[in-house]
Amino acid sequence: MQKELFNIENKVAFITGGGRGLGRQIAEAYASSGCHIAVCSRHLDQCEETAQYLEEKYGVKAKGYSCNIQSENEVNELVNQILSDFGQIDILVNNSGATWGAPVEEMPLEAWEKVMNVNLTGMFLVTKAVGKQMIERRSGKIINIGSVAGIKAEPPEVLNAIGYSTSKAAVHHFTKDLARKWARHQIYVNAIAPGFFPSKMTKHVLAERGEEIKKHNPLGRIGDDHALMGAALYFASPASDFVTGQVLAVDGGSTL
C-alpha cells in the first residue's frame, strides 16, 4: 500500500532552478523513486551536471536545459523541447527564485522588479505553458516553492528583503487560486513553504545569525539536505490525491 501511495515511477518531472540547492534535492528525491527528470536554470552547466549525476546514480532519464523563465518565448520553446524529449510532463516544480536584501527605503526599483519577475512572472509563464498539456491530458501535479517569509514577517535583522517576502506570499495565493481554477481538470496545485535551509540565498544570514535562528526554532535547527524531500514526494504522488490548494510549511515549527 505504501509503495503504491508514493509511486511516481516512470513519471516525468520538470523542475525549474533544479541545478542546485533545494531544486536539486527535490530532483534527487524524484529520481530515486524512478521518476524521469528535466531541470532548467540560467546555468546550463549546473543543470547538465545534475542530470548526468541522476542518470548515473538512479538509472532514470534526465536532461538539463538553459532557460530565462522571465521570457515567454524561451519558456514556450523549452516546454515544447521537454515534451519532445520526454513525451509528457506529469509533475511541475516551480522552484526558481531570486531575492534582494536591502531596507525598504533603500531598495532600488530594479531590485524589486527583478524579484517579482523571477518569483511571480516566471512561475506564471512556466505554469501556463506546462498547464496547457496537463489540461489536455486531464492530469498533473504542480508544486510551487514558497517560503515561510511569505507567511510571517521577520525583523529586519533576520530578513530584510520585502520584495522576496511579498513575492512568496503571492506565490501562496497563486497556488490556492490556481488550485480552484484547475481542479476541474484533475490538476493538483500545492505549495511548500521552506524555513531556513542552507542555500546561496540564505548563506549571508545564516553566517551572521545562524545560531540565533536555531535557538528560536522549536526544533532547534535549520533544514538539512533531506528535510524537503518527503513533502515534495507527497505532493507529487497519489498520496496527495485529495489535497489541493494547500501551503505546507517545512520549517521546524518556526511559523507556530
Residues 99-115 pLDDT 10s: 898 999 999 999 999 99
Query: Which pLDDT score is estimated for 200?
Result: 63
> 191: which strand partners?
144, 247
> 13: which strand partners?
37, 91
Each residue's pLDDT tens digit, 140-169 = 999 999 999 999 998 888 888 999 999 999
Each residue's pLDDT tens digit, 204-214 = 666 666 677 78
Distances (CA, A) of 78 to 46, 75, 151: 17, 5, 32
The closest alpha carbon to 120, from 144, 91, 151, 84, belongs to 144
Query: Which pLDDT score is estimated for 207?
Result: 66
- What is the SS3 assignment for 118-137? HHHHHHHHHHHHHHHHHHHH
Of the listed 65, 164, 188, 234, which one is catalytic? 164
Instruction: Report the CATH fold assignment for 2-250.
Output: Rossmann fold (3.40.50)
164 is catalytic: yes
Task: Give the three-class secondary structure for 148.
Answer: helix
